[in-house]
Amino acid sequence: MAFPERFSNLPEYAFPRLRSLLDAHAPGGPAVAMTIGEPRHPMPDFVGPVLAENLSGFAIYAANDGTPDLLGAISGWIGRRYGVDVGPDRLMALNGTREGLFNAAVALCPETKRGKRPVVLMPNPFYQVYAVAALAMGAEPIYVPATAATGFLPDYASLPAEVLDRVAIAYLCSPANPQGAVASTDYWADLLALAERHDFQIFADECYAEIYRNAPPPGILTVAAATGADPERALSFHSLSKRSNLPGLRSGFVAGGKQSITRIRQLRAFAGAPLPMPLQKISQLAWEDEAHVTASRALYVEKFALADQIFAGTQSYQSPEAGFFLWLPVADGEEAALKLWRETGVRVLPGAYLSRDVAGENPGAGYIRVALVAPKDETQRGLSLLRDCLYGQGR
């Protein structure tokens, strides 16, 4: 039997790869899970009652693009959060951002760019769906280092003009997963100007935008409106997984120009699966309510402060601006993760599993990613064990 080769060079996905690394070894203490970005703060109180009230909605086909009430709630939230008017015709509800980030590429990536194979840019390290989307469309994925030297954001403008002229899509996650770096207003403006010069679209993965310490991260929709950018130039992806502690709801949205959203909606009509009606109702109320978001963010701020206290004086430690990950420097990520598991029972993710080798170098190899999603006491215990094991007590 013949199988396609387009995904043949993909490495094993991060979490099966982690199990292969660790599971043959006994933990050195009670397990502390700090690997996956699965929020463990309380869900909003209304989820259960609203689901119960709307169970009959599972008996009907769902509104394909999102109900008017849901799209109206999303539009209202965008207006309050980003100060821009994005009408329902520029929105579509998603089964989480991963679905949207993939299917938007299917709907919008051209077969060729200037008569050549198109390019899809992404930071390195990155959310793995970016690469799969590029390969699925026959595009060339280019992994652009997002390291301490570049402020943990990719410097797309440094690429050769002949490469930029072939770019169809540039992915950018802000706040960044895994480093927590935030794209400033100037960064977004410069990227939009670059996209205009070389005629490509920006897919802004902003699913961590509501988890921050001080000021809300700037959004691409705000900057695009302020600079007069073509609305088709930028698409913004958001999710309730992180914002509302509802990763199992699989609910998010994409906002963009009318033509882009029309094409994404057309793909959904032929090959997609809409969000079930009861979940659309829960999503509507989640976007309308800020109290639960504020309460959850306060818990993350406490854990940021806890991490800063525990790692005070630790060489090369950088406190993240936003998101809920620590990106901790080590000599070798795999060796550190294995040592930590075998000696303490703390489970973290080697940074190389989120990155690709480029010219023999992997920008994640010297890091581990640590998720601050557990309750405060568990987080404190895990971070203290990690510090003592990998960095030496009191350093």
Q: With 70 as the cut, is the pLDDT of residue 395 above it?
A: no
Domains (range + CATH), the chain:
14-42+292-391 (3.90.1150.10), 61-288 (3.40.640.10)
DSSP 8-state assignment for residue 287: H
383 HSE (CA, 13 A, CB side): 28
What is the per-residue pLDDT across 162-196, written as a single tens digit (0 to 9) for each? Answer: 999 999 999 999 999 999 999 999 999 999 999 99
Is residue 205 very low, low, confident or very high in pLDDT (cuts 50, 70, 90)? very high
Residues 4-39 have pLDDT tens digits of 888 888 888 999 999 999 999 999 999 999 999 999
For residue 381, the model assigns a pLDDT of: 97
> If you average pLDDT over every residue of the chain, what do you get?
96
**pTM listed for this prediction:** 0.96
DSSP string, 31-71: -EE-SS----SPPPTTHHHHHHHTGGGGGSPPPSS--HHHH
| Rounded CA separation 100/93 (Å) | 9
16 CB burial (10 A radius; 0-12, 13-18, 19+): exposed
pLDDT tens-digit profile of 276-331?
Answer: 999 999 999 999 999 999 999 999 999 999 999 999 988 889 999 999 999 999 99
Residue 341: how many other CB atoms lie within 10 Å: 24
